[in-house]
């Protein structure tokens, strides 16, 4: 398989899941700043021009974090990356979707790609402030969903991988995490696979 990824991005969560499953794959780096995601070669693989993209052994490409994570979990049921019951699986998908769609897609997107939300440079600060407000409010919602200790749903799941990458962004941008989110983030940092992935992607792990 081939994972098209950018170090420190949302693709880090998928990188973690692939390593958790001990799957053999090639990592192809996509330099977003250089516009690699808009080249004809990449658009032929993923017309959405997004990351991550996972090209499977049969040559078919999967895009969108939630779809890739769900496929990995369902394709390798013995790893128990989903709780396995309807309620638990729904909770995992709910948390994953909120982390990716709201914290990332509405909050951090305004902070990292401000120009996509504001036409005039004079509005950039306002948009970034809006983004930080969305992130803070969303983390407060997640905080109420999380246990004070342990993984999001008791055992490690695809939801933890999604939540980790936005917690990682909060840490790197100086946005304080509420208590349960901070405990979850610190727990994830003790997981050997997470530490290995971060080091492989060029980050120093304390």
Q: Tell which CATH classification among 3.50.30.10, 1.10.730.10, 3.30.200.20, 3.40.30.10 matches the domain 2-79.
A: 3.40.30.10
Residues 6 or more apart in contact with residue 78 via CB below 8 angstroms: none
pLDDT of residue 66: 98
Model confidence, pTM:
0.95
What are the backbone angles phi and psi of residue 52, rounded to the nearest 5°?
A: -80, 160
Per-residue pLDDT of the chain (206 residues; tens, 9 = 90+): 999 999 999 999 999 999 999 999 999 999 999 999 999 999 999 999 999 999 999 999 999 999 999 999 999 999 999 999 999 999 999 999 999 999 999 999 999 999 999 989 999 999 999 999 999 999 999 999 999 999 999 999 999 999 999 999 999 999 999 999 999 999 999 999 999 999 999 998 87
Catalytic positions, written as ranges: 9
pLDDT of residue 1: 97
pLDDT of residue 16: 98
Separation between Cα atoms, residue 96 and residue 65, nearest integer Å:
9
Cβ-count burial 20-57 (b if 16+ within 10 Å, e if not): bbeeebeeeebeeeeebbeeeebeeebeebbbbbbbee
What are the backbone angles phi and psi of residue 10, rounded to the nearest 5°?
A: -60, -25
- Sorted by where each begins, the domain ranges of the chain are 2-79, 86-191
pLDDT of residue 205: 82
| Fold designation for 86-191 | Glutathione S-transferase Yfyf (Class Pi); Chain A, domain 2 (1.20.1050)
CB 131 within 8 A of CB 107: yes
What are the backbone angles phi and psi of residue 170, rounded to the nearest 5°?
A: -60, -45
pLDDT of residue 91: 97
């Amino acid at each position: 398989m081939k994972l098209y990824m950018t170090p420190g991005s949302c693709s880090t969560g998928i990188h973690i899941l692939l390593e958790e499953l001990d799957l053999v794959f090639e990592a192809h780096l996509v330099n977003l700043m250089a516009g690699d995601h808009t080249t004809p070669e990449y658009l032929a693989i993923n017309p959405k021009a997004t990351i991550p993209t996972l090209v499977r052994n049969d040559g078919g490409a999967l895009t969108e974090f939630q779809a890739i994570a769900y496929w990995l979990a369902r394709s390798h049921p013995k790893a128990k990356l989903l709780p396995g019951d309807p309620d638990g699986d729904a909770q995992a998908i709910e948390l994953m979707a909120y982390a990716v769609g709201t914290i990332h897609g509405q909050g951090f997107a305004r902070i990292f790609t401000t120009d996509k939300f504001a036409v005039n440079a004079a509005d950039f600060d306002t948009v970034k402030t809006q983004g930080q407000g969305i992130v803070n409010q969303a983390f407060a919602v997640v905080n109420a969903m999380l246990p004070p200790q342990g993984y999001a749903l008791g055992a490690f799941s695809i939801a933890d991988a999604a939540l980790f990458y936005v917690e990682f962004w909060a840490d790197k941008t100086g946005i304080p995490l509420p208590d349960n989110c901070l405990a979850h983030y610190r727990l994830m940092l003790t997981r050997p696979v997470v530490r290995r992935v971060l080091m492989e992607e060029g980050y120093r792990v304390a």
